[in-house]
Amino acid sequence: MHHMSSCKKVCLWAATLPRIPATSLALHNFDVNYGLQFGDLWPSVRVAMLCEQKYGALINNFSDVPGLLSELRFKGARDFVQSGRSLGEGTGGAGRLPGEGLTPATGSTEEESMLPEMSPNIRCFVFPKGDIARFKPARPDSCGTLSYYLLDAASLLPVLALDVREGHTVLDLCAAPGGKTLALLQTHAISQLTVNDVSESRMNRVRRTLQSYLPREVWSGNRVAMTTIDGQLWGEMARSTFDRVLVDVPCTTDRHSVMEEENNIFKKMRTKERQKLPALQTQLLVAGMEATRPGGVVLYSTCTLSQLQNEMVVEQAMHVAQDERGVTVEVEDLGPLERHFESTFHFAPRQRLGLLVIPHLTANFGPTYLCKLRRVR
């Protein structure tokens, strides 16, 4: 009897213990794994990840807010995409109209010729390193279209590295919440964009984003198709179809995981889902490789620091694509891109494959991982 009552007491005591928040579980997990992965670098990355994230303002070429660019420059922000593109640092391409185009200067260095031909229409303003000023909410123009979209500026790197050219067909395999989709449409180059996300509710979020930023004819015409198909099926459905495929996979979204309880993948009930992530990411990337036409580019990206979800997924997917689908891809060097943007972002040293932007107090963007792959056959 005495034994039963003490057992009951223990059970009651356990039931009244506060649940460990998912954010704490995430941080503990990261301390163990990233402490090993990054060594001495981890404490500074950890501090940055727990501080307020830095944003960029992706300029919406479809809106017309008079004086917007000069106003942003006056506040000290600069267009990190266009500044320094074969022109003097700071003169940038901002202020040019969509379609005016910036051609690389003649006699440009070999380094510049290796850079993706970044669309002159993608413009994104950031405050300089160490400046923690914030952008105000975007103003609508006379038609109610918003003037810019706030996003982690590092998340534009996958779109820039994708190197979209005039007339390309593009598949955005896991499109929600829609920031990268919006950036792709700013290029004015895509002949056909397929925007896909397996979740209907997440797809609705993409639709709402596009509705706020684009004239109806841009996103509702024949040029943009919206689908809610399991991303893993696209390889069989559309083999060798697209010039460019963006595979921005679901991941542990590290910054969200240590900051927000809501929708946190480290919640106990989502353990299995979290453990299955690398397998799902691999299947999505294989499908993306298969859907790319030979000669085309597939771009893999995440917002996690995890090697297990980054380089290891790329390596595994390359093996699976080769052995099971007869698809061969080669990793493209992103070194020129890294050197071009090192004044804006803090990159992790020594990546086996791809690039990793790591949060840093003076440049608190990321984490963003990207790896560019070209389909050979």
Does the annotation place 175 within a ligand binding site?
A: yes
Does the annotation place 248 within a ligand binding site?
A: yes
Pick the closest to residue 345 from 77, 128, 57 (CA basis): 128
Does the annotation place 230 within a ligand binding site?
A: yes
Does the annotation place 179 within a ligand binding site?
A: yes
Does the annotation place 174 within a ligand binding site?
A: yes
Hey, what are 260's tokens? 């927000």
Does the annotation place 348 within a ligand binding site?
A: no
SS (H, E, C) 137-189: CCCECCCCCECEEEECHHHHHHHHHHCCCCCCEEEECCCCCCHHHHHHHHCCC
Pick the closest to residue 231 from 272, 184, 291, 271 (CA basis): 291
CA atoms within a 13 Å half-sphere pointing along the CA-CB vector of 23: 10
Hey, what are 277's tokens? 């992530």
**Cα–Cα distance for residue pair 247/309, rounded to 1 Å:** 13
* Pair 246, 172: CB distance under 8 Å: yes
**Cα–Cα distance for residue pair 281/297, rounded to 1 Å:** 17
List the catalytic residues: 303
From the CB of residue 55, how many other CB atoms can be counted at a distance below 10 Å? 19
195 burial level (CB within 10 Å; 0-12, 13-18, 19+): buried
Residues annotated within a binding site for S-adenosyl-L-methionine: 174-180, 197, 230, 248
Q: Which residues are annotated as a binding site?
A: 174-180, 197, 230, 248
